[in-house]
Amino acid sequence: MPSLHPLLSGFAPIWALTAVGYLLGRSGLLGEQAEQVLNRFVFHAAMPAALFLMIARTPLDRFANPSMAAFTAGTAVAGGLGLLASQRLFGRGVPERAVGGMASGYVNSANLGIPVAVQVLGDASFVGPVVLFQILVVTPVVLTVLDSRRAGLRAALTLPLRNPILLAVALGAVLSATGWRAPAELNRSCELLGGAAVPTALVALGLSLCHRPAVGVASRYAEVGVAVLAKTVVQPLAAYAVGAFVLHLSDHQLLTVVLFSALPTAQNVFVYAREYGHGAALARDAVLASTLVSMATLSVVGWALGPS
């Protein structure tokens, strides 16, 4: 079983930067609009820069393998469960269902997946395919749903030209597919801007904790509980079932798939929900709660499936 300290070290920056945001919010130093401004900066500038570079530098065929098939199956099961629960149990509208599904199945593959994979697996090569799948498949679907409900179907058809996230992904995919290389100056600028995406999103997440609604607490906690259960338990179990009994993955492949499936909800979900004004409280609480729970579930995965 991997030692607890190295795993905890991967979570420490998340809690630290979220705490910084909370303290800044409580102090009022950044003003009442700080959370909104920071989220818009992440959504319209920092995150597009980071995603553009990530996709442009990753071969698109990397997610076409049996391990990704098992991961995709786990994502579909967990996301579908979250979406169905949002509709049937909590009576949410279409945008909130999309956020509920994303909160239940969208993993924190980069800033948590990398340190956890290095500690447990010895390498982080599976990060690339997971990032590609989530950015090229899951994100466009969810953002299209959110945008179409806000602006109408006609506007949704032009979404890739108007949404900075999808535009950055499309441009990155073109560079990756064609083998073109962006100028070094552009790469460096995107690296600097993209490097601000994760820390700024976490600070904004902390700021949002200062504005927790006082109504519907029991219902909200139940909804968050379902999302966290789907994310940290159902998704890795579904990935394990498909990987072990359908695809017959090797022990190392199975460990890799289940480990990544057990990662907590990514803060990207909160950024998207906050930008479109749907399900932000659910996304925020799911990110925080799943991150806490996953410290235990990731250790269990490493112990159960790792080398004896």
pLDDT digits (tens, 9 = 90+) for 59-83: 887 777 899 999 999 999 999 999 9
Smallest CA-to-CA distance from 229 within 284, 297, 281 is with: 297
Give dist(CA 63, CA 78) in Å, integer.
19
Rg (CA), the chain: 19
pTM here? 0.85
CA angle 288, 9, 51 (to 5 degrees): 65
φ, ψ for residue 135, nearest 5 deg: -80, -40
**Reported CATH class of domain 4-305:** mainly alpha
Q: Give tens-digit pLDDT for 79-138.
A: 999 999 999 999 999 999 999 999 999 999 877 887 788 778 887 789 888 988 998 899
What pLDDT was estimated at residue 153? 55
pLDDT exceeds cutoff 70 at 157: no
CB atoms within 10 A of CB 245: 9
In the chain, % of residues over pLDDT 70: 89
